[in-house]
């Protein structure tokens, strides 16, 4: 799959100073949490996920990854509903890498497997916890209709409050950017992983 890449894969051992600053920011931030660089690279020593394309524009990449860090680690959304929203965006885009990464995180955060599978299949998930259907409906309406109904808005607002609705809208926009980056640049899954879509 690597030979299908549309943008050069940059070896993290030979980057510019600004590119190195972005890598250090990823590794030393909340996303990295002390994990080694090897957990963020593919077999060719390039960064996994959307980070390799963002190295092409490291100053902008830094702002993008900081926004993502805030959305994931400073959100008012409960972790299960946050990950539910992310995988709903990933399913809409059929973003292979995004689904692969965040379906695993969703399971670790405690989101029910039947909810994850329903989102992947594009059907209404069971209400395994309060707010599941409201969040999925909100994300799907936003992506498909570019708007949400008053009923859908009120269901999410009741569940998450006003800060949660703002966090959810921001999350949708951010993960659309991530999904577009992954799909347009044909970012590969780690070696040996099966594409989910």
Residue 150 gets the label, from left (phi > 0), alpha (psi -120 to 50) or beta, of alpha
Which of the four CATH numbers 1.10.3720.10, 1.20.1290.10, 1.10.760.10, 1.10.150.120 does domain 77-183 have? Answer: 1.20.1290.10
For residues 4 and 144, which has the higher predicted lDDT (pLDDT)? 144
Confidence bin at 42 (pLDDT 50/70/90): confident
Six token digits for residue 30 = 């909340």
8 A C-beta contact, residue 79 and residue 33 = no
| CA atoms lying within 13 Å on the CB side of residue 50 | 24
Closest CA to 75 of 170, 179, 177: 170
Q: So what's the pLDDT on residue 56?
A: 95
**Whether pTM exceeds 0.85:** yes
Six token digits for residue 179 = 């999904």
Strand ranges, E, within the chain? none
Q: So what's the pLDDT on residue 1?
A: 41
Residue with tokens 């070896």: 11
pLDDT tens sequence across 60-102: 999 999 999 999 999 999 999 999 999 999 999 999 999 999 9
Q: So what's the pLDDT on residue 35?
A: 87
Local structure of 37: helix, strand or coil: helix
Local structure of 11: helix, strand or coil: strand
**Number of helices and strands in the chain (H, E):** 8, 0
Instruction: Tell me what percent of the residues of the chain surpass a pLDDT of 70.
Output: 97
pLDDT of 186 higher than 80? yes
pLDDT of 51 higher than 60? yes
CATH 1.20.1290.10 in the chain, residue ranges:
77-183
Q: So what's the pLDDT on residue 182?
A: 96
């Amino acid at each position: 799959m690597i030979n299908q890449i549309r943008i050069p894969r940059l070896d993290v051992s030979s980057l510019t100073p600004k590119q190195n600053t972005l890598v250090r920011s990823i590794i030393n931030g909340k996303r990295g949490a002390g994990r080694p660089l090897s957990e963020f690279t593919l077999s060719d020593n390039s960064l996994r996920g959307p980070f390799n394309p963002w190295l092409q524009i490291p100053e902008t990449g830094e702002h993008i990854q900081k926004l993502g860090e805030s959305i994931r680690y400073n959100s008012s959304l409960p972790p299960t509903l946050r990950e539910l929203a992310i995988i709903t965006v990933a399913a809409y885009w059929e973003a292979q890498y995004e689904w692969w990464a965040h379906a695993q995180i969703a399971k670790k955060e405690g989101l029910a497997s039947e909810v994850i599978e329903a989102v992947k299949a594009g059907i209404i998930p069971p209400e395994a916890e309060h707010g599941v259907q409201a969040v999925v409906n909100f994300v799907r309406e936003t992506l498909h209709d570019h708007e949400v109904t008053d009923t859908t808005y009120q269901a999410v607002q009741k569940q998450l409050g006003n800060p949660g609705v703002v966090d959810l809208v921001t999350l949708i926009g951010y993960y659309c950017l991530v999904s577009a980056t992954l799909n347009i640049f044909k970012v590969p899954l780690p070696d040996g992983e099966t594409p989910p879509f």
